[in-house]
Amino acid sequence: MRALLVGAAALFSVVAGNMAAYAAENEAKETAEAASLGRAFLTFQVENDLFANFVNTDRHYTNGLQAAWLSRPKTDLPAWLADFSSPPFYSLLFPTGNFDNKSHRVGVALGHAIFTPDDTTVTTPQPNDRPYAAWLHMTFSLQSVRSSTITGEAWQDQWKLDLGMVGPAAGGEFVQNEWHGLIGADDAKGWDNQIKNEPGINLSFERAWRSSTFATPEIIGLETDVIPYTIVALGNVQTYAGFGATFRLGPTLPNDFGPTRIYPGVGGSEWFEPAASGCNCYVFAGFEGRGIARDIFLDGNTFRDSASIQKRHFVYDGKLGLVFVVWDTRVAFTHVFRSREYEGQAKPDQFGSISVNFAL
């Protein structure tokens, strides 16, 4: 009996010690996450095929620029808007569960994207290649994060409204050729054949989640997780539905949703968990598929004739990247592999994405 009591006491002490360690680790993470959730964030991002090919090329989606601001959590959000942030019909497909932490933020971004055919030395129309196009827009966002301090589960919902212009008014020719002049590259000569002016309106909803349902084991002593996400977009610029996931690997993974992208702006979060000290670093990989009903950059103008080409209705992306979080700054690089987007496209595309986020 004495031996049994001693053994039970030893077992209890081990269990209690493990529980205390887990509680301390969880409390530390919650404290860091709470600190990050109380701050605003500023993001600067650039995407270019040069970053992936390491040669000065211009083809297809060739350049994207974006500056974005995300507010501190809003406590004065109207009730109807807070309810709208998580649409009931979407929750029927992807139930949200019970969460004891909820926060809402608003954001605004200014973005620009440029698309060109393979051969930018030709001045005449190229009916068998993708048309020249540019897209200048403002993005207004409503972001909601719901999480549980008990299970560690978290959901991020994002509404985004894009308002802008496609066509010459977007300034694609000016931006591209002025930049080429600065670096000594040849001008793109076919901008007279670009898609014509058209106001662009696009609305999208995205849900991403971290859940024990997708728990993954440690690999060589490093933490791992999987962050799946879904998106639906509707508008005269792009209409599509997609699904993707991001796998992360690092010494201590932060409680955010990974880095963002510009085009299309799917997956990730502009807010992040600042590093308490040193560098919090990790690598990631992901996959995303999109079923596409409309893409103005391939289909051409909505209400009048313009340059166009037959698009493919299913496009997928693969991505590899790394993230460095140093104090209040997050730097991320993503290498994107994109499947063929239109019929007759010679080969898939690659481009790189660099983002720098600041916690304010």
Q: What is the pLDDT of residue 261?
A: 86
- Which is more confident, 53 or 168? 168
Q: What is the pLDDT of residue 88?
A: 62
pTM over 0.75? The answer is yes
- In whole angstroms, what is the distance from residue 195 CA to residue 42 CA? 32
Domain 38-359 listed as CATH 2.40.128.140: yes
- Which is more confident, 169 or 57? 169
- Which is more confident, 315 or 17? 315
4 pLDDT higher than 70:
no
DSSP H or E run through 13? helix 2-37
234-287: per-residue pLDDT in tens? 999 999 999 999 999 999 888 899 998 887 867 788 999 887 776 789 999 999
- In whole angstroms, what is the distance from residue 156 CA to residue 248 CA? 17
Residues 318-337 have a mean pLDDT of 94
Q: Is the peptide bond before 73 cis (omega within 30 degrees of 0)?
A: no
Residues in a beta bridge with 11? none
Q: Would you place residue 334 in the very low, low, confident or very high pLDDT band (cuts 50, 70, 90)?
A: very high
- In whole angstroms, what is the distance from residue 348 CA to residue 165 CA? 27
Residue 24, number of CB atoms within 10 A of its CB: 10
Residues 342-360 have a mean pLDDT of 94
166-220: per-residue pLDDT in tens? 999 999 999 999 988 888 888 889 999 999 999 999 999 999 988 877 788 999 9
- Long-range Cβ contacts of 256-259 (<8 Å, 24+ apart): 256/36, 257/156, 257/208, 257/210, 257/227, 257/229, 258/227, 258/284, 258/323, 259/284, 259/321, 259/323, 259/330, 259/332, 259/334, 259/353, 259/355, 259/357
Mean pLDDT (the chain, rounded)? 85
12 pLDDT higher than 70:
no
102-142: per-residue pLDDT in tens? 889 999 999 999 999 999 999 999 999 999 999 999 999 99
142-154: per-residue pLDDT in tens? 999 988 877 778 8
- In whole angstroms, what is the distance from residue 79 CA to residue 76 CA? 9
Cα-trace Rg, the chain: 23
Q: Would you place residue 309 in the very low, low, confident or very high pLDDT band (cuts 50, 70, 90)?
A: very high
Q: What is the pLDDT of residue 28?
A: 47
Residue 166, number of CB atoms within 10 A of its CB: 29
43 pLDDT higher than 70:
yes
Q: What is the pLDDT of residue 301?
A: 97
Q: What is the pLDDT of residue 37?
A: 60
Q: Torsions phi, psi of 275, nearest 5?
A: -75, 135
Give the tokens for residue 46.
């650039």
Q: Would you place residue 17 in the very low, low, confident or very high pLDDT band (cuts 50, 70, 90)?
A: very low
Strand positions, DSSP E, the chain:
41-48, 60-70, 101-116, 133-147, 154-166, 198-210, 223-235, 238-250, 279-295, 314-326, 329-338, 349-359
